[in-house]
Chain A
Amino acid sequence: MPVYILKRVAYAVPVALAVSMICFLLVHLAPGDPLSLVLPADANQTTIDATKAKYGLDQPLPAQYFLWLTNVVSGDFGTSIATGRPVVSEIANALTYSLLLALIASVLGLVVGTLLGTVAGYWNGTAIDKIASAVAISGVSLPHYWLGIVLVVIFSVNLNWLPAMGAGESWSAERLKFMVLPAITLAAMPAGIITRSVRALVADTLGKEFVTALEARGLTQTQIFLHVVKNAAPTAIAVIGVQLGYLMAGSILVETVFSWPGTGLLLNTAILQRDIPLLQGTILVLALIFVALNLLVDIVQPMFDPRMKRG
């Protein structure tokens, strides 16, 4: 097992490097001049050159990437062009908010998705299955921002139960109220996708010969259920891991709708302001979280299915 984990970690390193390169390139390939926002429109060439040199933008791209990478590895993500504050502290602050929101949304999506999926898979083809599948499809197809706005209209505007936007004044139980609507909005899609995958997995596993063999041994329905769960778990974990990764990064629209001060909102601001260091840093951190989640999935899967250790 330790050898297997070390191997998986070693595989993750080149992936992380490639991710960093893509992050860097994407931002630099996008059109637009980042300096146009910082400098006055009538700035003279000397000022422009000086500012370029200050941010290292006068160097060739590979040199810029290398410089940025060495800095990033040592924990220095540069300074935000727009606010002048270090990118690290901007991201750290936003990440706290996003992680908390993502955590609650994940738990919600995971619990709802697994429950609905298992029930639908077990009662494959019945009315329960049809209802669960309809709920799942709604969750997958309703656009985030639309669902968010509808929830706000119902629960904030009409019923006045929950706040519509923001994150409250301080870290207290009061803040949970602000998280309810964004968390539900965010959880809708992963809940739907997890439901559909788990449903297919459970139905597929139940159709396997070994389940008949377990019945032929006289095991109880509960015992057979445990066998089904352990068989379906590795694939379910892979789907869930990917969904949670999307959840971290895919919260841009939701955080914008609810003005939740997380990485999504930060990313949105950085894009609109062409704040390259902030943009690069945020994308990289989100991408690395994705890589880390996948690594975690790789490590957890063989605990359920020993055949996976060989691959």
Chain B
Amino acid sequence: MSAFTAREPLLSVRDLTVGFKTDRGPITALDRISFDLGRGEVLGLIGESGSGKSVTMRALLRILPQKRTTISGSILMEGRDVLALKRRELASYRGNDVAMIFQEPSLAFDPVFTVGRQIAETVVRHKQCSWDAAYARALEMLELVRIPSAKSRLDNYPHEMSGGMRQRAMIALALACSPKLLLADEPTTALDATVQIQVILLLRELQKELGMATIFVTHDVGVAAEISDRVAVMYAGRIVEMGSAADVLKSPAHPYARGLLSSTIHGAMAGERVEAIPGMPPDLANMPSGCAFSPRCAMAMPECRNVIPAPASVGAGRSAACIRVGSVAA
């Protein structure tokens, strides 16, 4: 195991490739994903459904269905190779070093245990403390995520809470062991619009206060802009553009990123027509040759069908995977 120094990134992902066996044959859900994440940094992962955002998150925790999944590449967390961890080491890594907030809190909580018990159980597991201390920690966490009358809420079952409160409790659970990396997998998708904003503001505040690195998955560009230092845009299992949130969202280089931005309400001005990207995302079992976006791309050239473009630098800390990069950026 290599010695970890402060200058190295917290998380370093190289050529992460995830394949699934399906009834219709093998598919590649993630194709050579590479990125780094510094301590305390917030990375926004944007893309349509099926672009591989959730698969990336689950691969980082290795919670993809074992029998049907093949993973290659490398995931280094503080210099440790996550893909090489033994079952025991993996269990200590999950929930302790890296914790995850799931999309649907109503499905991610065990329905037959109280919320307090589920938080305390995780704390006891990783911090080897007494149950009393763990419940005290659970109470502290519920207060931190601003659940009113937190003490009595400890004894609530998940179904006794509202959707927004359940997601707050899920955040409390994820942060209870002070993870160095927080994975938030579309944490507000299942919530009402008004509650969504509250939860996002809460997450942003907690991130600033506690300083853990965060990967925030969303298909909402506005949310990504609100919370991220850097963003990565995914399409059909590949990262097509990555860079600082300000740069990418202001002047996207990749044609898909441009399309995605102009197709959101946030991107368009009042009275302006919202532009949709023509066509549909590709079927992962039947990928087009070359650039996966080329069949939908207004700027595609014949050559786009022949090569899968590698990420190329487009300025400081920015990259885009398009052979027309440079000529595209306005």
Report yes or no: B111 in contact with A305, Cβ–Cβ below 8 A. yes
Report yes or no: A217 in contact with B173, Cβ–Cβ below 8 A. yes
Q: Which of B61, B104, B173 contacts A209 (CB 8 A)?
A: B104
A220 to B121, CA, bound (A): 11
Complex contacts, B90 vs chain A, CB 8 Å = 218
Report yes or no: B157 in contact with A216, Cβ–Cβ below 8 A. no
A216 to B185, CA, bound (A): 13
Report yes or no: B109 in contact with A210, Cβ–Cβ below 8 A. yes
Write out, one digit per residue, whether chain B residues 65-99 have a CB within 8 A of any chain A CB (1) or not (0): 00000000000000000000000001111111001
> In the complex, which residues 88-125 of chain B have their Cβ closer than 8 Å to any Cβ of chain A?
90-96, 99-100, 102, 104, 107-113, 121-122, 125
Complex contacts, A217 vs chain B, CB 8 Å = 94-95, 99, 122, 125, 173
Residue A76 lies at the interface, judged by CB distance under 8 Å to chain B: no
Chain B residue with the shortest CB-CB distance to A213: B108
Q: Which residues of A contact B (CB under 8 A)?
A: 208-210, 212-220, 223, 227, 230-231, 304-307
Q: Which residues of B contact A (CB under 8 A)?
A: 61, 63, 90-96, 99-100, 102, 104, 107-113, 121-122, 125-126, 157, 159, 173
Known: A218-B90, A307-B159. 8 other contacts (CB 8 A): A210-B107, A215-B61, A216-B95, A216-B100, A217-B173, A219-B91, A219-B122, A306-B157
Q: A304-B112, A306-B112 are in contact. Are A218 and B126 (CB under 8 A)?
A: yes
Closest chain B CB from A124 CB (angstroms): 10
Closest chain A CB from B267 CB (angstroms): 33
A223 to B121, CA, bound (A): 9
User: Between A and B, how many residue pairs show CB distances below 8 Å?
Assistant: 72
Report yes or no: A214 in contact with B110, Cβ–Cβ below 8 A. yes
Report yes or no: A231 in contact with B110, Cβ–Cβ below 8 A. yes
Chain A residue with the shortest CB-CB distance to B170: A213
Complex contacts, A230 vs chain B, CB 8 Å = 110, 112-113
Closest chain B CB from A114 CB (angstroms): 18
Query: What are 23 A-B residue pairs whose CB atoms fall within 8 Å in the complex?
Result: A208-B107, A209-B107, A210-B107, A210-B110, A212-B63, A213-B110, A214-B110, A215-B61, A215-B63, A216-B63, A216-B95, A217-B99, A218-B94, A219-B95, A220-B91, A220-B125, A230-B112, A230-B113, A231-B112, A305-B111, A306-B159, A307-B111, A307-B157
Q: Which of B91, B93, B109, B121 contacts A213 (CB 8 A)?
A: B109
Q: A209-B104, A209-B108, A230-B113 are in contact. Are A218 and B63 (CB under 8 A)?
A: no
A-B pairs with the 8 shortest C-beta distances?
A: A218-B95, A218-B94, A217-B95, A209-B107, A213-B108, A217-B122, A218-B91, A210-B110
A39 to B108, CA, bound (A): 72
A217 to B120, CA, bound (A): 11
Closest chain A CB from B43 CB (angstroms): 19
Complex contacts, A223 vs chain B, CB 8 Å = 121, 125
A305 to B92, CA, bound (A): 29
Chain A binding surface SS class = helix
Report yes or no: B125 in contact with A219, Cβ–Cβ below 8 A. yes
A59 to B330, CA, bound (A): 102
A212 to B107, CA, bound (A): 10
A223 to B107, CA, bound (A): 18
Closest chain A CB from B111 CB (angstroms): 6
Max chain B Cβ within 10 angstroms of own Cβ: one of A210, A215, A306: A210
Closest chain A CB from B319 CB (angstroms): 30
Q: A216-B63, A217-B94, A307-B159 are in contact. Are A210 and B108 (CB under 8 A)?
A: yes
Complex contacts, B61 vs chain A, CB 8 Å = 215-216
Complex contacts, B63 vs chain A, CB 8 Å = 212, 215-216
A78 to B92, CA, bound (A): 69
A304 to B113, CA, bound (A): 9
Chain A residue with the shortest CB-CB distance to B61: A216
A217 to B173, CA, bound (A): 9
Report yes or no: B102 in contact with A209, Cβ–Cβ below 8 A. yes
Chain A residue with the shortest CB-CB distance to B114: A306
Complex contacts, A214 vs chain B, CB 8 Å = 110
Closest chain A CB from B182 CB (angstroms): 12
A298 to B173, CA, bound (A): 32
Q: Which of A209, A210, A216 contacts B94 (CB 8 A)?
A: A216
Report yes or no: B111 in contact with A210, Cβ–Cβ below 8 A. yes
Closest chain B CB from A300 CB (angstroms): 14
Complex contacts, A210 vs chain B, CB 8 Å = 107-111
Complex contacts, A215 vs chain B, CB 8 Å = 61, 63, 94
Closest chain A CB from B263 CB (angstroms): 30
Report yes or no: A213 in contact with B125, Cβ–Cβ below 8 A. no
A20 to B42, CA, bound (A): 70
Complex contacts, B122 vs chain A, CB 8 Å = 217-219
